[in-house]
């Protein structure tokens, strides 16, 4: 892998091949994802939706990894905190709201899955299931199909560090290594698996496991989106060049409780959480843009107003939209049944 570490700070995005326009778009999506997440938490607290599982603090890294991928050709198998990733892939806030409100028009599952269970044919996002890590062997299968068909596409799969202790992770990595498949394994290490801290999950680095499967593994600072982008861009190039898989362990921290059903103060302190909130990479990214003449207070105000409007409209739309008709409950589960048979 080529190192770009010596490049001076002010030219970081250009040195990575990111245009001014792209780097500004990255920031806009980071903020959009954060605001969507905050609204989702509010809606759950207000009793309007049942459940939310937050991706706050993981957005900058998720945007960076998405921007390193090819949206037209690659396959995406995200996990439940990947809101910023799927927004970068092209999902709309309206679609996320339809999923949050579990409405029939939700492209992810027509409201049949819990929110955060992404799946969208249009965006090449492969539908996922609730048992964690089951998406890993699926991603390997997509990579195998791409290789067999000679298609230039890479599959990217996300999961948490707790989940990486499941057998599916090891089986997927082993097979992908043997077959040299174009797949990027992304472990978003946010320090906890519900109440279990990383120190009680694993005695080693997740990234080091790649060595045992015969491909490279990197640990990258999730608070440095440029570095995340660089590592993913190179992993993508390796995959397309037929050099096989890469494992990336993105170091981050889950600042929210595990889900809206969790009380995290039962197993960690407010001081610990506040310390990590203070490391938020979004303001730092804004500062970078301002220092390079790409952002201003006026643009920030305009962005926040646009996002507010978009989220307000999506919330209203999601709330008013109809649930899936009961006759559709068996669609995509069994062969199409007639309305009479359902009755």
Ligand X SMILES: Cc1ncc(C[n+]2csc(CCOP(=O)(O)OP(=O)(O)O)c2C)c(N)n1
Q: Which residues are catalytic?
A: 254, 258, 267
Nearer to ligand X, 129 or 296 (CB): 129
- Count other C-beta atoms under 10 Å from residue 300's C-beta: 15
Of 178, 184, 282, give the one whose Cα is nearest residue 231: 184
CB of 150 to Mg ion, least distance (A): 36
> 């440029």: which residue's tokens?
226
Q: Of 57, 108, 190, 256, which lies in the binding site for Mg ion, with binding defined by CB under 5 A?
A: 190
Of 142-161, binders to Mg ion (CB under 5 A) are: 160-161
Total number of residues that touch ligand X (CB under 6 A): 14
Nearest residue (CB) to ligand X, 115 versus 162: 162
Least Cα distance to 285 among 227, 343, 206 occurs for 227
Least distance between Mg ion and beta carbon 233 (Å): 25
* Of 28-36, 82-90, 188-196, 332-340: span binding Mg ion (CB under 5 A): 188-196
**Binding partner of residue 194 among ligand X, Mg ion, none, CB cut-off 5 to 8 Å per kind:** ligand X
C-beta of 134 vs 327, nearer to Mg ion: 134
Work out which of 111, 162, 222, 257 binds ligand X, going by CB under 6 A: 162
161 binds ligand X (CB under 6 A): yes
Q: Which of Mg ion, ligand X, none interacts with 130 (beta carbon under 5 to 8 A by kind)?
A: ligand X
3-state secondary structure 126-184: CCCCCCCCCHHHHHHHHHHHHHHHCCCCCEEEEEECCHHHCHHHHHHHHHHHHHCCCEE
Burial (Cβ within 10 Å: 0-12, 13-18, ≥19) of residue 293: exposed
Give the integer Cα–Cα distance in Å for 202 and 209. Answer: 11
3-class secondary structure, 220: strand
| Cα atoms in the 13 Å half-sphere on the side-chain side of 55 | 32
Our finding on whether 261 is near ligand X (CB under 6 A) is no
Helices and strands (DSSP H and E) totals, the chain: 13, 7
Binding residue for ligand X (CB under 6 A) from 75, 192, 223, 253? Answer: 192
Interacting partner of 128 out of Mg ion, ligand X, none (Cβ under 5 to 8 A depending on kind): none
* Contact set with ligand X (CB under 6 A): 81, 130-132, 160-163, 190, 192-194, 254, 258
């Amino acid at each position: 892998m080529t190192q770009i570490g010596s490049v001076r700070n002010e030219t970081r995005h250009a040195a990575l091949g990111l245009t001014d326009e792209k780097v500004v778009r990255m920031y806009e999506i980071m903020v959009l994802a954060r605001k969507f997440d905050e609204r989702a938490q509010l809606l759950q607290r207000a009793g309007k939706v049942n459940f939310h599982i937050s991706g706050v603090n993981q957005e900058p890294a998720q945007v960076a990894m998405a921007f390193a991928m090819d949206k037209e050709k690659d396959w995406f198998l995200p996990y439940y905190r990947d809101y910023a990733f799927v927004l970068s892939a092209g999902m709309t806030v309206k679609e996320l709201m339809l999923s949050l409100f579990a409405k029939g028009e939700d492209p992810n599952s027509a409201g049949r899955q819990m929110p955060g269970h992404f799946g969208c044919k249009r965006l090449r996002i492969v539908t996922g299931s609730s048992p964690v890590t089951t998406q890993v062997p699926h991603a390997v299968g997509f990579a195998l199909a791409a290789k067999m068909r000679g298609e230039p596409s890479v599959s990217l799969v996300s999961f948490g560090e707790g989940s990486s202790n499941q057998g599916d992770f090891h089986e997927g990595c082993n097979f992908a290594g043997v077959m040299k498949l174009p797949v990027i394994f992304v472990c978003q290490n946010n320090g906890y698996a519900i109440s279990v801290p990383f120190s009680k999950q694993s005695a080693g680095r997740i990234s080091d496991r790649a060595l045992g499967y015969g491909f490279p593994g990197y640990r990258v600072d999730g608070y440095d989106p440029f570095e995340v982008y660089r590592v993913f861009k190179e992993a993508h190039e390796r995959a397309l060049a037929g050099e096989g898989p890469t494992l990336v362990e993105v170091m981050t921290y889950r600042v929210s409780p595990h889900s809206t059903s969790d009380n995290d103060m039962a197993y960690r302190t407010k001081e610990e959480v506040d310390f990590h909130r203070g490391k938020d990479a979004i303001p730092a990214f804004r500062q970078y843009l301002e220092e390079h003449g790409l952002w201003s207070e006026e643009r920030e105000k305009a962005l926040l107003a646009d996002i507010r409007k978009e989220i307000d409209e999506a919330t209203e739309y999601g709330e008013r939209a109809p649930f899936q008709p009961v006759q559709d409950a068996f669609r995509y589960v069994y062969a199409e049944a007639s309305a009479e048979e359902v009755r």
